[in-house]
A = this chain, B = another copy of it.
Amino acid sequence: MKPKILIVEDEPSITDTIQYALETDGFDTVALSSGTAVIPLLSQDPVDLIVLDIGLPDINGLELCKTIRKAHDIPIIFLTARADEIDRVVGLEIGADDYLTKPFSPRELSARVKAVLRRTRRASPSTMSAPGFKVDESKRRISYFDKILDLSHYEFKILKTFIRRPGHVYSRDRLMDLVWEEPETSMDRTVDTHIKNIRAKLKTVKPDVDPIVTHRGMGYSLKEEL
């Protein structure tokens, strides 16, 4: 069962190099030279990881990433020519799983792919986990120290988002983007209130710890360890 990697890159020479390196290291690969074809492909051909050039000519890579993330739970590694784009990519706005700045060695890319897969593999088979948490996607349930939480729709989605990347700091805006269908809706303390409710529910299980960390002026994250 080789993992399948989708490469989205408009320059053939780079695509070739990557493809060769990844296949040598035991991956299956598919390559696309345009961003618009990604979504249609994903819906019929599941892949395990996407290597995405954000400097594509036909589409904004960041937007594409958002779109992918809306519907799929696939790790994404970014390629970028400009080092200063990195902040937005890796930081709050998008949440890439990793990135590489051109030029890079194919070997390095392959190593990153392996690392990201190793990291997310554990998480994927429908029970993702962070300290004490288990997510059962099919039953739409999250348990916390083996106690099933009674969560509302939004609470579930927010908590799932946190669990997917423990330690990652999500701004309120970013959470809105990820969790809400229509993120434009003006919000005041909406996210805060949901966090409050989630915290209250977690507290009934473990009264002495709060696994949700507030980062003043930045957002919230889940503790990586208790």
Binding site for B on A (CB under 8 A): 66, 69, 86-87, 90-99, 111-112, 115, 118-119, 122-123, 125-126, 129-132, 137-140, 152-153, 165, 167-169, 215-218, 221, 224-226
Contact = CB atoms under 8 A, between A and B. Distances in A.
Contact of A216 (B69, B96, B153): B153
Contacts of A95: 138, 224-225
Contacts of A139: 167-169, 221
Contacts of A221: 139-140
Contact of A119 (B91, B96, B115, B129): B115
A167 B125 CA distance: 13
26 contacts: A69-B225, A87-B137, A90-B125, A90-B137, A91-B137, A91-B138, A92-B129, A92-B131, A92-B132, A93-B131, A94-B225, A95-B138, A95-B225, A96-B125, A99-B125, A99-B126, A111-B118, A115-B119, A115-B122, A115-B123, A118-B119, A138-B165, A140-B169, A152-B216, A152-B217, A153-B218
B138 A168 contact: yes
Nearest to A84: B164
A23 B95 CA distance: 32
Nearest to A129: B92
Given A92-B130, A94-B225, A98-B125, 17 more contacts: A86-B137, A90-B137, A91-B137, A92-B132, A97-B125, A99-B125, A111-B118, A111-B122, A115-B119, A115-B122, A138-B165, A138-B167, A139-B169, A139-B221, A140-B218, A140-B221, A153-B218
Contacts of A99: 125-126
Contacts of A225: 66, 69, 94-95
The 7 closest A-B pairs by CB, nearest first: A153-B217, A90-B126, A98-B125, A140-B169, A139-B167, A90-B137, A91-B137
Contacts of A66: 225
A131 B92 CA distance: 5
Nearest to A122: B115
Contacts of A92: 129-132
